[in-house]
Amino acid sequence: MKSIKITILYLIIFVFLSCNNSDGINDQDNNQNKTVVNKFGQLSIDGSNILDESGNVIVLRGMSLFWSQWAPNYFTEETVKWLIDDWKCTIIRAAMGVENGGYLDNPNTEYEKISTVIDACIKLGIYVVVDWHDHNAEDHLESANDFFDKISKSYGHYPNVIYEIYNEPLDESWNNVLKPYSENVINVIRKNDPDNLIIVGTPNWSQDVDDVIGNLIDSNNIAYSLHFYTGTHREWLREKANKAILANIPLFISEWGLSEADGNGIIDIAETNLWADFMELKNLSWCNWSVNNKDETSSILLPTTTAISGWNDNELSEAGKIMKDYLVKMNSEIFDSLSE
Ligand code: MG
């Protein structure tokens, strides 16, 4: 009788401990996988791929905000949250205007907008591209260095942050202008942050990615930007991109749009599909241009849509409807896996 009691007691203790233990493991898993960045962690570059913290190839897909000085309303936690919850973005690009009334004229105001978006992405657990949105950055080296020094000091220890140090250079030489500019800014960032991804601009609106072949930047976790607009840039640009990828160069599509190159004009669905297939085939991460209600093809919102979140399908432009459907289709599996 005594031994039965002891057996039952042991059994109760065993069941109690196992339940507790398994609850503990589940809690831990849930906590670890609650957000995108909890799940994937610190990013790194290996060959032409971006890897997550566990060493698996990762593809990030999301939206770019419009120039901060012209569409500041969307630089809010409310918009970021909507783009995660409803659009399933795993990455947001905060495009900080530099010239034309941007950072050079109002550094504090523009910094505030960018830090609001970074803070929101950290809180909500997605990746964020901090974009020096400039076409003449080599003329603004000192300002770029100041800005990225501050950003990397404040945020370099968060795995969420990706630096984009030059949006779209014009017709400038990689070897003589863009590479030296990039190395200069990278040195500033790397003093504060040894490891987060840095995206550098490539010649001719970030299209001539093959120009960097044989003359890469000697630093870790550097990606090279490729930009395109599907109504203008076609097979010839995919061939250029493929040439770079075959040379083991990691490309990051920090901006692409469904319009023609000027942000307006037609939407070419067939060409968009070719680009979408190409990006998936090559594991390329991207941000789509842009979150705005400006009356132009690439904006995701109709001009009559003034809300900064909560958009229903009738408030989206044609590009907006296509992009929302595509992001939900491509990224839902990632978000579903967070609650498993
Ligand atoms: Mg870091």
pLDDT digits (tens, 9 = 90+) for 265-275: 999 999 999 99
CA of 206 to the centre of ligand 1 (A): 25
pLDDT reading at 14 higher than 90? no
Split into its structural domains, the chain has a count of 1
Domain contains 19: no
Does the structure show a pLDDT above 90 at 167?
A: yes
Evaluate whether residue 320 is within a structural domain: yes
Q: Is residue 258 part of a domain?
A: yes
Spatial contact of 83 and 89, defined as CB atoms under 8 Å apart: yes
Phi first, then psi: give them for residue 132, nearest 5 degrees.
-80, 95
> Cα of 180 to ligand 1 centre, how many Å?
23
Question: 177 CA distance to ligand 1 centroid (A)?
Answer: 27
In a domain, 7, yes or no: no
Torsion-angle region of 246 (φ positive above 0: left; ψ -120 to 50: alpha; else: beta): alpha
**Residue spans of beta strands (DSSP E) within the chain:** 44-46, 49-51, 61-65, 91-97, 127-133, 161-164, 198-200, 222-229, 251-257, 286-291
Here the CATH number for the domain that contains residue 213 is 3.20.20.80
CB atoms within 10 A of CB 225: 25
Q: 255, 260, 271, 296: which is the annotated catalytic residue?
A: 255
Query: Residues 199-242: pLDDT tens digits?
Result: 999 999 999 999 999 999 999 999 999 999 999 999 999 999 99
Q: Is residue 23 part of a domain?
A: no
Question: Residue 285 is part of which domain span?
Answer: 43-338
Task: Give the pLDDT score at 340.
Answer: 75
Joined together, the tokens standing for residue 324 give: 């929302």
pLDDT band at residue 33, thresholds of 50, 70 and 90? low
Are the beta carbons of 161 and 155 closer than 8 angstroms? yes
What six digits make up the tokens of 271? 């060409």
pLDDT at residue 29 tops 80: no
271: annotated active-site residue: no
- From the CA of 152, how far away is ligand 1's center (Å)? 8
Q: How many CB atoms lie within 10 A of CB 173?
A: 12
Q: What is the mean pLDDT of the chain?
A: 93
* Model confidence at 31: pLDDT above 70: no
Q: Is residue 32 part of a domain?
A: no
Any domain includes 283: yes
Concatenate the DSSP letters of all residues of 29-71 into one string. HHHHTSSHHHHH-S-EEETTEEE-TTS-B---EEEEEP-TTT-
Q: Is 168 a catalytic residue?
A: yes
Structural domain includes residue 3:
no
Which one of 110, 138, 164, 168 is the catalytic residue?
A: 168
* Ligand 1 center to 56 CA (angstroms): 19
CA distance 243 to 247: 6
Confidence category of residue 8, pLDDT binned at 50, 70, 90 = low
